[in-house]
Amino acid sequence: MLKQLFRTLLVLCAVVSLTACSSDSDAPESQAQTTLKLELKLVPENIQVKEYKHLKISFKELNTGFTTTQELTNTNSLKTTLPTGTYHIIAEGNIIYSDDSGLIEGKVGGVQTGVVINGSEQTKTMDISLKAGSGDLILEEIFFTGTKTPQGAMYFGDQYFKITNNTDQTLYADGMLLIQSSFMTNEKQDYTPNIMASTFSAGAIIRIPGTGNTYPVKPGESIIIAEDAINHKEFNPSSINLSQANFQIFKEDSDDIDNPSVPKMINIFEKMVIHTQGYYAYALARMPQGMTSNTLISQNTYTYTYNLTFGGDVYPMDGTAVKIPNEWITDAVNLSVQDSFQWLVTSPSLDMGWTSVTSFDGDKNRFGKAVRRRVIGKTMEGKSILKDTNNSTADFEHGVKPSLFN
């Protein structure tokens, strides 16, 4: 904790065929050109790829806005010419791979930002990963900013997570993990070991109680996990009433508020502290049947190291996290601030993008705003169908009025 605090203080001080090719904007004629040889590499490497069926690679130059899209069939190698610059690259597609049950077709994706492409010729490798499926509960809305009182004071405790059944079957929330990332989206470091391709590094974990069929969630319905499950309007007229939330986050060894009528989330690892500007990723996951919380911690806790560079000096740092296998995760959302985003802290197989409430750090207009999934249609029963493409940039509306304030 002291090392994490030290890090934060230092940062605060620092203030086979190419089938199609299309371009959304013309490259500047006078700009230098680079021949790029790009190989897409599936990670982890133990997955046996039988065929790269179809891949689409999109390039966006971050300074000029130049964009182009290339499509590949039956190959993972691309050779193209691009204007020299710094690029955001997204790869998506389908592959055929094998496991013990035979051949499987799966969706893959990858993303890299800040990729410098210059010189007459360059060769680069880009990791792609299998995309996680979503036949379970998902994060519909995250209200993390808090509110302000009529006097202008910041008010916290009214933050919440809205978790929704986006399927056509009744699901049970029992045992679902709500996870906060160990790493921050606005602070990229070279962490060792780098296990992001196969696991999610958790800095805090809480779990929904229940015996397996205690908390049913019908199709289209939601549950609310509140930071404090009280009527916040009694303390701040600009806030909301969360006294009827389904669950509350309660920290036993601190001066926390307890609503006896609302079930408590079970604390598994560390304390979940919701940052009012985002900065973390959140995920939902289910442990394998029969696994206990104690077993999870004892088997999956690990120590990571990195070097923090500040003022020309290098400070060796370390931290402790719990690695959650990506295949356990049903949904993940990266949160950040637009002008300080540095990287995704999940594998692109879980989330290829990120969402935010505000465009710059410290924006005083962020309070009372949330991120919420886009509605793409209605079921025959009139329930909303939520967008879920494992890309938070596309899936979420950002900086919107929280639904519980309506």
Out of 20-34, 54-68, 154-168, 258-272, which region has the weakest mean confidence (pLDDT)?
Answer: 20-34
Out of 75-84, 162-171, 249-258, which region has the weakest mean confidence (pLDDT)?
Answer: 249-258
Q: Is the pLDDT of residue 1 over 70?
A: no
Closest CA to 158 of 60, 76, 226, 62: 226
Q: Is the pLDDT of residue 382 over 50?
A: yes
Distance CA 141, CA 163 (A): 7
Query: Could you tell me which residues are beta bridge partners of residue 21?
Result: 70
Question: What is the mean predicted confidence (pLDDT) over 288-317?
Answer: 95
> pLDDT confidence of 154, banded at 50, 70, 90?
very high
Global pTM?
A: 0.80
Distance CA 307, CA 190 (A): 7
The residue behind tokens 């029963």 is 381
Structure tokens at 95: 């592959």
126, 150, 184, 279, 395 from 275: Cα distances, Å: 31, 22, 10, 7, 21
DSSP annotation of 218 reads: -
| CATH numeric code, 16-130 | 2.60.40.1120
Question: What is the mean predicted confidence (pLDDT) over 350-365?
Answer: 92
Question: What is the mean predicted confidence (pLDDT) over 271-282?
Answer: 96
Distance CA 109, CA 105 (A): 14
What pLDDT was estimated at residue 209? 98
Q: Which comes out higher in pLDDT, residue 102 or 247?
A: 247
Structure tokens at 3: 């090392």
% of the chain surpassing 70 pLDDT? 91
3-state secondary structure of 331: strand
Question: What is the mean predicted confidence (pLDDT) over 238-244?
Answer: 97
The predicted-structure confidence for 101-146, as pLDDT tens digits, reads as follows 578 788 888 899 899 999 999 999 999 887 765 689 999 999 999 9
Residue partners of 134: CB distance under 8 A and separation at least 6: 166, 330, 331, 388, 390
Domain boundaries, the chain: 16-130, 137-405
- Beta pairing, strands 171-172 & 160-165: unpaired
Residue partners of 139: CB distance under 8 A and separation at least 6: 161, 162, 163, 164, 282, 284, 331, 333, 373
Distance CA 343, CA 187 (A): 8
The predicted-structure confidence for 177-192, as pLDDT tens digits, reads as follows 999 999 999 999 999 9
Distance CA 290, CA 69 (A): 46
CA dihedral (293, 294, 296, 301) positive or negative? positive
Residue type, 395: D
Cβ atoms of 324 and 282 closer than 8 Å: no
